[in-house]
Amino acid sequence: MAVWAKARGNRYLHIGGGVGSSNDGLLQFKRGFSPLLFPFSTLRLVTDDEVYRELITRRARFANLPVEEFAGREFFPAYRAAL
């Protein structure tokens, strides 16, 4: 990504924050690349309800959880939540 961004003439490559915007180990790892911090925003948007529901159903089945319980989690997208 850094090579691609540099070839485009970008001066910065934002690699996001921690899990759920928390100050966790992932954020600390990423901060090891640069002392610079930038604000960022995310959008929680499902563009295909049918596909999203299928992904949640498959993940719930894999986790041996009822779909309703799995889909009600705060993590987005729900099918990527930790088991």
The 10s digit of each residue's pLDDT in 13-65 is: 888 888 777 888 998 999 998 888 888 888 889 999 999 999 999 999 999 98
For the chain, the domain total comes to: 2
Do 49 and 67 belong to one domain?
Answer: yes
**Residue 17 DSSP SS3:** coil
Do 78 and 67 meet the contact criterion of CB atoms below 8 Å apart?
A: no
Do 2 and 26 meet the contact criterion of CB atoms below 8 Å apart?
A: no
Do 57 and 25 belong to one domain?
Answer: no
pLDDT over 90 at 73, yes or no: no
Q: Which domain holds residue 70?
A: 43-83
Environment class of 74 (CB within 10 Å of its CB; exposed 0-12, middle 13-18, buried 19+): exposed
**Full-model pTM:** 0.63
Mark out the alpha helices in 1-83 (DSSP H runs).
2-7, 25-31, 49-63, 67-71
